[in-house]
Amino acid sequence: MARALVGGTAIAGLVCAVLSGTSAPAVAKNNAGAVIGGLLAGAVIGAAVASAVKHPTKIYVNKPPPPPPPNPWANAYSPKPGINCYPVQQACYTTGGAYNANWTWKVYAK
């Protein structure tokens, strides 16, 4: 719709320019009406072109999820080869997986 309006206005302007160029020279007169008409026509054409512009749509992005908490089991340490102590449980185990009460008491009973 807007393109047809702009195209029609442009063609009408060209026809007027061609026809006015072939006539006899005009006498000096007041051109205030022509200036105002040109400003109004420019405003109408500018509004038609501005409304035809496709504006981008807003895209909302969610915040990324928070990082996972640190692994508490990663804090395991070995006070002696063959013994693993876990601060989360406050317990020590042998390498085979058996509970070691002696090392548990030495490390965590303080």
What tens digit of pLDDT does each residue of 28-60 get? 677 888 888 888 888 888 877 776 667 678 888
Dist. CA 31–CA 63, nearest whole Å: 61
Structure tokens at 5: 């309006």
Residue 9 domain-assigned?
Answer: yes
Type of residue found at 70 = P
Considering the domain architecture, whether residues 15 and 42 belong to the same structural domain is answered as yes
Angle at 72 between CA 70 and CA 75, to 5 degrees: 110
Domain with 87, as residue range(s), is 75-108
SS3 content of the chain, % helix, strand, coil (to 5): 50, 10, 40
pTM of the prediction?
A: 0.39
Question: Model confidence over 51-103: pLDDT tens digits?
Answer: 666 767 888 888 889 999 888 888 899 999 999 999 999 999 999 999 999 99
Considering the domain architecture, whether residues 61 and 40 belong to the same structural domain is answered as yes
